[in-house]
Structure 1
Amino acid sequence: MIALLASLAGWAGASAQPVADLSDRARQHIRHDAPQIALVGVRLVDGSDDPARANQTVLIEDGRIRQVGPTADISVPDGFAVLDLAGHSVIPGLVGLHNHLHYPGTPASHHTAPHLYLAGGVTTLFSAGSAAPVAELNMARAVERGYGPGPDMRIAAPYVTGPDGNWVMAQPDTAEAAHRFVDYWTENGVAGFKLYRHVTPDVARAVITRAHAHGLPVTGHLCSLTYRQAAEMGIDRIEHGFLSMSDLVADKPEGVCTATLASLETSDPDGEAIGAVIATLVDHDVTLTSTLAIIESHFAHRPQGDARSLAMLAPEARAAYDSRQDALAARLETTRFTPELFGRVLAFERRFVAAGGHLVAGPDTGRHIIPGHGDQRNVELLVEAGFTVEQAVRIATHNGAVELGLGTDRGLIRAGYRADLVVLQGDLSADISRIRHPQIVFRNGLGYDPESLAEAAVGQVGLR
């Protein structure tokens, strides 16, 4: 696993940005801007596996966490703005590893994505494939300079696929072309690369080797390559888990993307074949990205878009959602996306982690899975999969930070860590759905108003 994203490493240690340096577009969404803030009386789920702790106080100073501990043991110094947050939970800011900055049909969601990710509690992300790389790189830089609100955004290069793949993606046809592609986008500041379903083995190997020479990671949404092949090539991360795995396809042609569903329907979640795939991934230090929110959208028997997410969709996106729901309903009795198959999806992620695998999370935005809301749904589904609340929060926060080479800077509520925090209404440890109710999102010590951020995007997802 290549954890350090060299091209953007300087951002990790950035100090808190003075509010006066922010544009009006960013400043209008800030609720708490004091340089010293005390969060008093909260329940902490701190990004580790430690049990949630009640009645804690967190001191924030100049964008960093100064002190954490029982409220009874901490004397709030003079000059701190005190927020009495009894009845609230605090978690680290979410760190998303499959967080696109585009929506199908919209090459760059330059307005809605930054607003909604931050509103949903996402404070750091990796875009996991770019549809408009120049726009996305500029978007990330603009947020860092204070021109608008948003998370710390690490941008991927354009997707790399093969001759039978999506025509809007890069299709280098030789190892030399792949090297030139990697060199060019590295020079332009990307934070990693993504292989897509039809990529050829030679090009995949060339991208991985060249990216690693630059100190950058490679992930993949795979099909032409099996998970075991990609692991042996040195891939750092694989997206989507169980449903994208072609390892179980009998007599699979080398380097060809073929249908996988039949092989997965009959698989044994506890069997030797899946165990061997997982063992290879763990032995080669390959991370998996859990994208349960978008995977759930394939299953008609599962919850689909809720009112708050649907309100964010532009009219054309809402019409597409309605059409898709009609199609799902029509296939309900004959669909191969059954409750049993969804159970296999969840079991694969449990088994991977139990075997020592490193699991991170991201929503893979599209359909009704919108920025921020999809990240929250992932956490809920991880708990449904059998992880504890604390484990699910760690997967969605500190594990992601570790994957980005930021594990000593953010993703935990510890003294010295960056003050990227989410204040949630209620007791998250007792009710995971409280993840949907952020009251304040602190990014680098500045407290943003989630409601204000979300209101700025109502009816616009899929438009801009």
Structure 2
Amino acid sequence: MKNFARRLTLTTCLLGSVTAAAYAQQFTPQVQEFIKVSAPVVALTDAKVIDGTGRPALLHQTVLLQNGRITQVGAIKKVKVPAGAQVINCAGKTLIPGLVMLHEHLYYTMPVGGYFNIAQMPYSFPRLYLAGGATTIRTAGSIEPQTDLAIKRMIGEGKLIGPDMDVTAPYIEEPSMDIPALNTVKGPEDAAATTKYWADRGCTSFKMYMHATRADLAAVVREAHARNLKITGHLCALTYREAAEIGIDNLEHGFMASSDFVPNKAPDVCDNNVRQSLLRLPVNSPEMTSLIKFLVGKKVALTSTLTVFEPYTGREVVLGGGLEALIPQMQERETATWKQNQQRDTASVRLFKKNMAWEKQFYDAGGLLVAGTDPTGAGRTIAGYSNRRQIELLVEAGFTPVQAIKVSTLNGATYLGREKEIGTIEAGKQGDLVLINGDPEKDIQQVRQMEIVFKNGVGFDSVKLFESMKGKVGLN
């Protein structure tokens, strides 16, 4: 009787596991419409593979996917394709890991009267992120965290299309700016209570904002680190050095938000001279070298968000070619703003190039540089399109394509503590990878030619997803 009970328990557990595994691959008809590959065994043959590790690319490779995982990666002559596998000939094409992007949002710039504001895009942005190769994202600051958490759940249940999500709680910000959608706290006790509240509801990251103080950060670090959760920041009142001393894990926007070089800066005060102080600072200054060394020593990661700072002059209206994604009114708005700013952003161009150089210096010094896009700002940055553009801009900054892809894949996975599961194309990893019709090493803009984005071994039609969202951004 005892043996029978044990067998019954074991059988029940096994059936539960099978059911859970099968359920994870169930999708609604609305999602299935965009799935191009769903076979249990898939062989991607004769591909160029940039595996995300930083190692040189390999030619004529076969990648086997089985039940959502990568089982083999090797030369086409050495990997035997199992009988019954779906074979996809990748000659002339490139495989990269699914992007792991750490400064994403599910909202877009939507002014309220004359005030800056942001509005949730719960349907279009998750789709566009996946279409643009992002299989994992961190929402670096939420305005509707309950919506973000629900979307994360519904994507996991196969009801919506989108990436895996690390959901950040509402911004930790002191009252200061008239942005209706922005969360505020009043002092460190409130900051600590906010952290506990949203951690209990499933948020896994926290973000300090511009007017948060040293006491606010210390309170959030205390509560979040006790739960093994991480904190990032778009700072101003706090310097990078102060934040690193207190225990912040990540800093956003490269060095564009660093107030460390403001003369006579008052503690806990957001000084309007940050931009001017950075414009005055030489690219190869000993002061920046010292700050970089300090941050690397403290193991503070830095997020590159070059897309949100890209100048207007001589560049695209919407980064990555996504103008048609916007509703007509937004297309008109962005085009008009773009025209008005042509040849009028020389200071922005100088600072943009400096920040590129500083990010490369941080990377070369051994710092963990990760990537994101920040679809806010003036409204030129749109999910999906901007993720591909971020890789192009890293190359413009002096990174090789292989380095830029590593920053946008493995480095993000490493920061999230998921490098054993995602971020590279290696046997045993989750089947997250992107098939590109071209060679980004020959021309980095070929990264835009994504065909299939595999998430957990299921291949989504990138082109079809982008097409489905044309004229939708600004609605939902």
Give the structure 1 partner of residue 53 of structure 2. 48
**Is residue 44–residue 90 contact of structure 1 (8 Å, CA) maintained in 2?**
yes
Give the structure 2 partner of residue 135 of structure 1. 147
Give the structure 2 partner of residue 448 of structure 1. 460
Secondary structure in 1 matching 2:77: helix
What is the CA distance between 1:316 and its match in structure 2?
2.9
Give the structure 2 partner of residue 90 of structure 1. 95
Letter aligned with residue 77 of structure 2: A
Secondary structure in 1 matching 2:152: helix
What is the CA distance between 1:163 and its match in structure 2?
2.4
Structure 1, residues 439-458: CA drift from partner, whole Å, max 9, x if none? 11100000110122112211
**Is residue 16–residue 444 contact of structure 1 (8 Å, CA) maintained in 2?**
no
**Is residue 317–residue 334 contact of structure 2 (8 Å, CA) maintained in 1?**
no
Match of 1:364 among 367, 374, 380: 374
Secondary structure in 1 matching 2:394: helix
Q: Distance in 1 between matches of 2:26 and 2:79?
A: 32
Counting only pairs closer than 5 Å after superposition, residues 380-419 of structure 1 correspond to structure 2 as 380-419=392-431
Q: 1:430 aligned to 2:442?
A: yes
Give the structure 2 partner of residue 284 of structure 1. 298
Match of 1:26 among 8, 31, 51: 31
Structure 1, residues 304-333: CA drift from partner, whole Å, max 9, x if none? 42684000011232232123213312xx24
Give the structure 1 partner of residue 347 of structure 2. 336
What is the CA distance between 1:427 and its match in structure 2?
1.4
Give the structure 2 partner of residue 58 of structure 1. 63
Q: Report the TM-score when normalising by structure 1.
A: 0.93
**Is residue 66–residue 416 contact of structure 1 (8 Å, CA) maintained in 2?**
yes
Give the structure 2 partner of residue 111 of structure 1. 123
**Is residue 140–residue 152 contact of structure 1 (8 Å, CA) maintained in 2?**
yes
Q: Distance in 1 between matches of 2:371 and 2:461?
A: 24
CA RMSD of aligned residues (A): 1.7
What is the CA distance between 1:254 and its match in structure 2?
1.1
Q: Distance in 2 between matches of 1:408 and 1:333?
A: 46
Q: 1:327 aligned to 2:340?
A: yes
**Is residue 320–residue 389 contact of structure 2 (8 Å, CA) maintained in 1?**
no
Structure 1, residues 226-253: CA drift from partner, whole Å, max 9, x if none? 1101111100000001221111110111
**Is residue 431–residue 455 contact of structure 2 (8 Å, CA) maintained in 1?**
yes
Question: How many percent of aligned residue pairs carry the same amino acid?
Answer: 39
Secondary structure in 1 matching 2:427: coil
Structure 2 unaligned spans of 5+:
1-18, 111-117
Q: Report the TM-score when normalising by structure 2.
A: 0.91
Q: 1:263 aligned to 2:268?
A: no
Give the structure 1 partner of residue 240 of structure 2. 227
Give the structure 2 partner of residue 8 of structure 1. none
What is the CA distance between 1:434 and its match in structure 2?
1.2
Give the structure 2 partner of residue 314 of structure 1. 327
Q: Distance in 1 between matches of 2:345 and 2:152?
A: 44
Describe the shift of the 1:320–1:393 C-alpha distance in structure 2 as closer, same or farther (beyond 3 A).
same
Q: Distance in 2 between matches of 1:87 and 1:210?
A: 50
Structure 1, residues 8-42: CA drift from partner, whole Å, max 9, x if none? xxxxxx98656872111211100111000000000
What is the CA distance between 1:107 and its match in structure 2?
2.8
Describe the shift of the 1:307–1:373 C-alpha distance in structure 2 as closer, same or farther (beyond 3 A).
closer
Q: 1:351 aligned to 2:361?
A: yes
User: How many residues were matched structurally?
Assistant: 447
What is the CA distance between 1:335 and its match in structure 2?
4.3
**Is residue 438–residue 447 contact of structure 2 (8 Å, CA) maintained in 1?**
no
Q: Distance in 1 between matches of 2:473 and 2:337?
A: 17
Secondary structure in 2 matching 1:244: coil
What is the CA distance between 1:341 and its match in structure 2?
2.4
Q: Distance in 1 between matches of 2:339 and 2:393?
A: 24
Counting only pairs closer than 5 Å after superposition, residues 197-236 of structure 1 correspond to structure 2 as 197-236=210-249
What is the CA distance between 1:215 and its match in structure 2?
1.3
Give the structure 2 partner of residue 439 of structure 1. 451
Describe the shift of the 1:73–1:20 C-alpha distance in structure 2 as closer, same or farther (beyond 3 A).
closer
Describe the shift of the 1:189–1:355 C-alpha distance in structure 2 as closer, same or farther (beyond 3 A).
same
**Is residue 173–residue 203 contact of structure 1 (8 Å, CA) maintained in 2?**
no
- Worse overlay, 173-182 or 57-66: 173-182
Describe the shift of the 1:20–1:100 C-alpha distance in structure 2 as closer, same or farther (beyond 3 A).
closer
**Is residue 313–residue 345 contact of structure 2 (8 Å, CA) maintained in 1?**
no
Q: Distance in 1 between matches of 2:101 and 2:42?
A: 26
Higher Cα radius of gyration: 2
Give the structure 2 partner of residue 248 of structure 1. 261
Structure 1, residues 151-196: CA drift from partner, whole Å, max 9, x if none? 1011110111112134532322222211111110001100110011
**Is residue 93–residue 122 contact of structure 1 (8 Å, CA) maintained in 2?**
yes
Match of 2:387 among 363, 366, 375: 375
Structure 1 unaligned spans of 5+:
1-13
Letter aligned with residue 93 of structure 1: G
Q: Distance in 1 between matches of 2:287 and 2:151?
A: 43
Structure 1, residues 267-309: CA drift from partner, whole Å, max 9, x if none? 112111101111111111100000011111x443544426840
Q: Distance in 2 between matches of 1:411 and 1:111?
A: 25
Q: Which one scores higher on RCO, CA 8 angstroms, separation ≥ 6?
A: 1
Q: Distance in 2 between matches of 1:418 and 1:125?
A: 15
Q: Distance in 2 between matches of 1:214 and 1:142?
A: 25
Describe the shift of the 1:26–1:122 C-alpha distance in structure 2 as closer, same or farther (beyond 3 A).
same
Counting only pairs closer than 5 Å after superposition, residues 150-229 of structure 1 correspond to structure 2 as 150-165=162-177, 166-229=179-242
Secondary structure in 1 matching 2:169: coil
**Is residue 108–residue 136 contact of structure 1 (8 Å, CA) maintained in 2?**
no
